Amino acid sequence: MFGTTLMLAFREIRRHLMRSFLTTLGIIIGVSAVITMVTLGRGVTADIEEQISSLGSNVFFVFPIQGERGQFRPFDEDDVTAVREQIAGVKSAAGQVDSNVVAIYNGQDWETTVEGVSGEFMDARGIEMDVGRRFTEAEETSGANVCIIGPTVQEELFLTGESPIGERMRLNNVSCQVIGVFASRGSVGGGGDEDNSVFMPLTNVQRRFTGNDNIGYMAVSYDSAYDSATMTNALVDLMRERRVLLEGQANDFDIVDTAQINETVQSTVGTMTIMVAAIAAISLVVGGVGIMNIMLVSVTERTREIGIRLAIGALAKEVRLQFLTEAVVLCCFGGLVGMILGFVFSYSLAGALGFPFIFDPFINILSFVISALIGILFGYFPARRASQLDPIEALRHE
Amino acid sequence: MSEQPIIELKGITKTFGEGAAAFQALKGVDLSIKRGDFVAVMGPSGSGKSTTMNILGCLDVPTSGVFKFLGTEVQSLNKDQRSLLRRRYLGFVFQGFNLLARTTAVENVELPLLYRGEHKAERREAALRALDRVGLRPWADHTPAELSGGQQQRVAIARALVTDPEVLLADEPTGNLDSERSIEIMEFLSELNGQGITILMVTHEPEMAEFAKTIVHFKDGLVERIENGARNHAHAGSGVNG
């Protein structure tokens, strides 16, 4: 009996192909929107996860921030040394300072950032070399005019593809010799191109560009045997002591943990995904109402047919099953098309926006099952109405 | 009377509506029909003949009285039980043919078997056999729109026959046909009756009623009189009880 009902449903849908398609449009849009949103959300999460892992693992970033009384006290090299030497578990601590500059090579200008760094900083951030070498200890101490350029800078200034190693370029008025190119570290959270940067020894940048001993932030890497909370407490205690903060005064510095960023961003993206998917799911419900509407029209249109079936001896439940099956088949068809469209949309959008495409079987199956359930939910009322028709009245219907 | 009647109505009343708006369509109908009879039900509109047919077709239940069909008291059955009775023992032919549009003749004929849960191949075979009986096998794959009125009615008869019913109920079967087609259909129904099937037919055309063995005249919700058909059928012996 069920196979026959299914066949009847297909026949009826084929008979009104255009109407059936338009009816299921709501379901199609709903399912494809939910799938697209969730799939893109997963892609974004994976993308951010990768970017954050590119910041290095087991790393803190320590920034000075404005204190309670509006004071802003930058760090200096002594703070970095203190962290390195006084806290157990710290593998490396390094300061960084940066300044916006114009890089000039062979008559080409390029706006970039000069970053004062050290080998230790590169270790902490997990920055690898693409070609060339790092600064030597002597260069770091003396503040030699040597630089390591980022991939973007190489691309923009060394247009003919020549090796930049050994070439001299200018950063504002400061001349420097390129000794290496660092490997791409990607862009973090859309906050600019991390590869558009030129490294110089820290002391050199302080002397020639910023003109003081301040450092912008510290990167502190720690042994993975120590846990994040212990390390954070030790850091806070040390910095408060060094900055003579009294009890009750708020920190005028901030510690950011990559693990913590990761967690925050993931939960934010997760929440956003759920919200957007929920909005998309509303169109599924609207689609269900559309199905119910058309099924009611169909029941009215086919009153005579229902009368014939009942007169011939169809049971009420058989008529109900027939109309219910029709609604469910329509919704499943919508769900299937929605899944295909969702795949196409999320695949092409992920490509266009540069996110990885991560197929999520769960949301696909869930969307399909939900569309089938919507068919049952919104198909039941019209089906019940059909089954409760009086055969005599129905046969008289014009 | 040697044989138990196939249909027995005793004191059947049917009231539509309630209170002041109530209308009594049947006021106590007594009728019994023997197996193998061919009964024409006649009467002016409002005489209760359609209501009686609906009750006989197990589509409706009487307000009071006893309706025995093959010994079963139908008035106490529920909707689904009556459906099962129709599906098993009754065949319907309607004035408006009532075929499913955009559905081929053979599929229309298959319809009752669908609800009997028969397999596809058997269904198709039985439907083709029934179409053969009404002489429409070559039109099996045509839709109603491609068939003439007479052909459509014959498809409808094939649909009624496909389940080998005990009783064929025909409601104005010639109402939408010209006289030539009407006579064809009536001759065919007589032939079926000759093969042993009991036929109950509502008609307002005396010429059509003449094909029946028994003619029951309704008036004002009651059986007015019962007469034998003019054609010299061997009379099966139906009559009023009481």
Q: Where are the domains of chain A?
A: 2-51+263-396, 74-242
Lowest-pLDDT range, A47-51, A124-128, A187-191?
Answer: A187-191
Q: What is the mean pLDDT of residues A30-38?
A: 91
Q: Does B49 touch chain A (CB under 8 A)?
A: no
- Report how far residue A114's alpha carbon sits from residue A97's, in angstroms, rounded to the nearest whole number: 8
CB atoms within 10 A of CB A38: 24
Q: Kindly compute the dihedral angle of the four CA atoms of residues A4, A5, A10, A14, in this order, to the nearest 10 degrees.
A: 100
Q: How confident is the model at residue A3 (pLDDT cuts 50, 70, 90)?
A: confident
- Report how far residue A368's alpha carbon sits from residue B112's, in angstroms, rounded to the nearest whole number: 34
Kindly determine whether residue A312 and residue B80, on different chains, have CB atoms separated by under 8 Å.
no
Residue B47 lies in a domain: yes
Q: Kindly compute the dihedral angle of the four CA atoms of residues A142, A146, A150, A153, in this order, to the nearest 10 degrees.
A: 140
Residue B51 lies in a domain: yes
- Report how far residue B229's alpha carbon sits from residue B206's, in angstroms, rounded to the nearest whole number: 10
Residue segments in chain B with a per-residue pLDDT below the cut of 50: 1, 232-242
Map residue A175 onto helix, strand or coil: strand
B190/chain A closest Cα distance in angstroms = 22
Compare CB distances from B112 to A307, A312, A316 and report the shortest one's residue. A312
CB pairs under 8 A between A and B: 51
Residue A226 exposure: Cα atoms within 13 Å on the Cβ side: 21
Most confident of A17-31, A64-78, A149-163, B122-136: B122-136
- Report how far residue A35's alpha carbon sits from residue B31's, in angstroms, rounded to the nearest whole number: 67
Q: What is the mean pLDDT of residues A112-141?
A: 89
What CATH number did the domain enclosing B122 receive? 3.40.50.300
Compare CB distances from B54 to A4, A313, A392 and report the shortest one's residue. A392
Q: How confident is the model at residue A188 (pLDDT cuts 50, 70, 90)?
A: low
Do residues A108 and A149 touch, judged by C-beta distance below 8 A? no
Distance of CA B88 to the CA centre of its chain: 14
User: Which chain B residues touch A317 with a CB distance below 8 Å?
Assistant: 80
- Cα–Cα distance list, B193 to B187, B200, B207, B236 (Å): 10, 10, 17, 11
Burial A338-368 (b: 16+ CB within 10 A, else e): bbebbbebbeebbeeeebebbeeeebbeebb
Burial A264-273 (b: 16+ CB within 10 A, else e): ebbeebeeeb
Alpha-helical runs (H) found in A227-315: 228-242, 258-301, 303-312
Q: In terms of Cα–Cα distance, which of B33, B1, B31, B27 is closest to B15?
A: B27
Specify whether the backbone of B71 is left (phi greater than 0), alpha (psi in -120 to 50) or beta: left
Q: What is the pLDDT of residues B152-185, one digit of tens each?
A: 999 999 999 999 999 999 998 988 888 888 998 9
Residue type, A386: A
Give me the sign of the Cα torsion angle A256, A262, A267, A270.
Answer: positive
A290/chain B closest Cα distance in angstroms = 25
Counting the structural domains of chain B, the total is 1
pLDDT of residue B237: 46
pLDDT of residue A296: 93
Kindly determine whether residue A316 and residue B79, on different chains, have CB atoms separated by under 8 Å.
yes
Residue A278 exposure: Cα atoms within 13 Å on the Cβ side: 6
Do residues B125 and B164 touch, judged by C-beta distance below 8 A? no
Q: How confident is the model at residue A346 (pLDDT cuts 50, 70, 90)?
A: very high
Q: Does B83 touch chain A (CB under 8 A)?
A: yes
Q: Does A341 touch chain B (CB under 8 A)?
A: no
Residue B2 lies in a domain: no
User: Which chain A residues touch B111 with a CB distance below 8 Å?
Assistant: 308-309, 312
Residue B239 lies in a domain: no
Q: Which residues is B61 bridged to in the sheet?
A: none
Q: Does B62 touch chain A (CB under 8 A)?
A: no
| Burial class of B76 by CB neighbour count within 10 A (0 to 12, 13 to 18, 19+) | exposed
Domain span at B142: 7-228
Q: Does A307 touch chain B (CB under 8 A)?
A: yes
Q: Does B87 touch chain A (CB under 8 A)?
A: yes
pLDDT of residue A148: 94
Q: Which residues is A170 bridged to in the sheet?
A: A104, A175
Mutation to test the A interface, candidates B111, B114, B172, most A Cβ within 10 Å: B114
Q: Dihedrals φ, ψ of B122, to 5°?
A: -65, -40
Do residues B239 and B37 touch, judged by C-beta distance below 8 A? no
pLDDT of residue A243: 87
Q: What is the pLDDT of residues A233-283, one digit of tens each?
A: 999 999 999 888 888 888 889 888 877 777 788 888 889 888 888 888 888
Residue B242 lies in a domain: no
Give me the sign of the Cα torsion angle A100, A103, A109, A113.
Answer: negative
Q: Which residues is A63 bridged to in the sheet?
A: A254
Q: What is the pLDDT of residues A202-214, one digit of tens each?
A: 999 999 999 888 9
User: Which chain B residues touch A391 with a CB distance below 8 Å?
Assistant: 59
pLDDT of residue B236: 46
pLDDT of residue A128: 87
Q: For strand B198-202 and strand B38-42, is the pairing parallel, antiparallel, or unpaired?
A: parallel
